[in-house]
Amino acid sequence: MAAHTNRPVLVRDARAFRTTIALKFLMTASGLVFIGYVLAHMYGNLKAFSGEAAFNEYAHHIRELGEPLLPHEGFLWLMRVLLVVALVVHVWSGFALWRKAAKARPVKYAVKKHTGAIPAARIMRLAGVWVLGFTIWHLLNFTIVKVNPSNGETGGDNPYALLVDSFDLWWMTLIYLVSMAFLGAHLHHGTWSSLQTLGWTSTAPARARAKAFALGFAIVVAGGFSLVPLGVLVGIID
């Protein structure tokens, strides 16, 4: 009798579990698009260390990629569409996972009060929302409006000058460095969580490897991006 009454619950649980896994796969797949993008973008930014001509040449070259097969800026627009699709999928599945977790556990864990530790899921949401807000500010700053915050001028076709002038302001450097710390936190847990979803954390050595990889990757990306504002701060890039 007990087994009989339990059955529908088990089936429902199995379905809920499958939905959670599917949502986590969507997070991972869309997250991979961002990972590819941030790695390429970070590499491009580091060209600032090679000077104005190299950096601006690179920014110019991106707009010509794929020509004549693609129109001018065609590659850039394909990438932008891919990024927007990945963003919608990532935010939507993140939101759906959060709703599922909230429904499954309407009463919060009492243990939180004792440890004072912030759960990883909450850090992910906070860092995710911060990185999204940062990206909007970043696009306004460097791509859409291109306001040069140090003198208020708009426009111009010199990405290098805009970069240096922006990070000549201490508060811009601060916003960027704090945002890179949030990006690092998000990447750290996101990478670990994805490796878990992919089933690459099932043994103790695999878990240790996955942990080290997630941490190393987050440090490389957040650190690599931070080098440019830091380079301006100490005067290597000017």
Residues found near ligand HEM in the complex (CB under 6 A): 38, 41, 45, 59, 76, 80, 131, 135, 138-139, 142-143, 159, 163, 176, 183, 225, 228-229
182 or 192, CB closer to ligand HEM? 182
Q: Which is nearer to ligand HEM, 27 or 228 (CB)?
A: 228
Nearest-angstrom CA–CA distance, 60 and 214:
33
Q: How far is the CB of 200 from ligand HEM (least distance, A)?
A: 25
**Phi/psi at 121 (5° precision):** -60, -35
Residue 45 beta carbon to ligand HEM: minimum distance, rounded to whole angstroms: 5
Rounded least distance, CB 218 to ligand HEM, Å: 12
DSSP lists the bridge partners of residue 36 as none
Q: What share of the chain is helix, strand, coil (3-state, %, to 5)?
A: 80, 0, 20
CB of 99 to ligand HEM, least distance (A): 24
Closest to ligand HEM by CB, 101 or 136: 136
**Of the two residues 91 and 200, which places its CB atom closer to ligand HEM in the complex?**
91
The two three-digit tokens of residue 134, written as one number: 């940062």
Shortest gap between Cβ of 162 and ligand HEM (angstroms)? Answer: 7
Q: Which is nearer to ligand HEM, 94 or 159 (CB)?
A: 159
Nearer to ligand HEM by Cβ, of 42 and 210: the residue is 42
Dihedral pair phi/psi, residue 154, rounded to 5°: -110, 155
Distances in whole angstroms, Cα of residue 83 to Cα of each of 30, 86, 87, 217? 9, 5, 6, 20
**Is 87 exposed, middle or buried (CB count within 10 Å of its CB: 0-12, 13-18, 19+)?**
middle
Minimum distance from residue 192 beta carbon to ligand HEM (Å): 19
Q: Which residue is nearest to ligand HEM (CB)?
A: 59
Candidates 222, 178, 188, 144; CA nearest to 31 is 188
Residue type, 222: A
Q: HSE (CB half, 13 Å, CA atoms) of 110? A: 0
